[in-house]
Every structure is written in structure tokens, then in C-alpha cells.
Amino acid sequence: MMIPILKKSDYETIKALIEGIHPTQRTKEVGTLQSELRRAKIVEDDKISQNVIQLGSYFEVREITSKRQLCLTLTLPGEANLQEQRVSILSPLGVALIGFQKGKEFEWQLPAGKRTFIIEKVSAPTSLTTT
């Protein structure tokens, strides 16, 4: 099982986001994201590889079976907009991808069933959100 790699500022942002969600509003993805945070390797912001998907990263993944390619940017929930290819960290795919690197294959249970993806491209965040 792959260990996600998170930069410290993303870890703190995501942790605060989860803590701010009322218990009655917590989805299965929120619980999964909490688990991912617990097992993640946390690194200093300047030590994170540009090939690791972070908040604000643009990435391209391909679903192995269908060869369908998704080109998305990982965002906070308030910035998510599928028409603009901006996917929330709280979405099933967002939870699946945070902290993983270009070239990695992973399986994830999506609403349509379990799928295998490969991360083909990752671009570093273009704008950093400061708190």
C-alpha cells in the first residue's frame, strides 16, 4: 500500500478543513481522508517533489480499462468546479490522489465501481493559498 506524501501546509489546511466539518455533514470520503492523513508522510513545504499531487496541483490520470483520461486540478471544496476541471479534495478522486506521485498506479472505489488509474502528469501548484 502506497503512503501518501503531504507537505506540511497542505496537511494543516486539510486537517483544519476536516475539523471544521460538522459531524452530521461528514461523508465517507471525509473519513477516508482522515485515515490518509494519519498514515501520510509529512514533509517540509520546500522538500516536496513537484511530481506529488498537492492542493492546487494540475494532474492527468488515465483509467486503465477504458483509457479515459482525466485532466484536473485538486482544490479545496469552495474552489471545486467540474466545468473548470477543478476537483475537491473531499471528492472520491481527490481523496484517492492527494500525496501520490506521477507514474503510480492505484485502485479506487468510485461510485461506478473499483477502477485502476495511472498518474501520467503532475504540475506543481500555480498559486499557493496562505492562511
What are 51-92's pLDDT values in tens digits? 999 999 999 999 999 999 999 999 999 999 989 999 999 998
CATH 3.40.50.11740 describes domain 5-123? no
Mean pLDDT of 98-113: 87
Provide φ and ψ at 89, rounded to 5°: -60, -20
Q: Is the pLDDT of residue 131 over 50?
A: no
89-128 burial string, b = 16+ CB within 10 Å, else e?
bbbbbbbbbbbbebebeeebeeeeeebebebeebeebeee
User: Which pTM was predicted?
Assistant: 0.88
Cβ atoms of 47 and 3 closer than 8 Å: no
Q: How far apart are CA 16 and CA 118, in angstroms?
A: 29
Whether the per-residue pLDDT at 22 is higher than 80: the answer is: yes
Give the residue extent of every domain in the chain. 5-123
The average pLDDT across 6-10 equals 97
CA 71 centroid distance within chain: 13
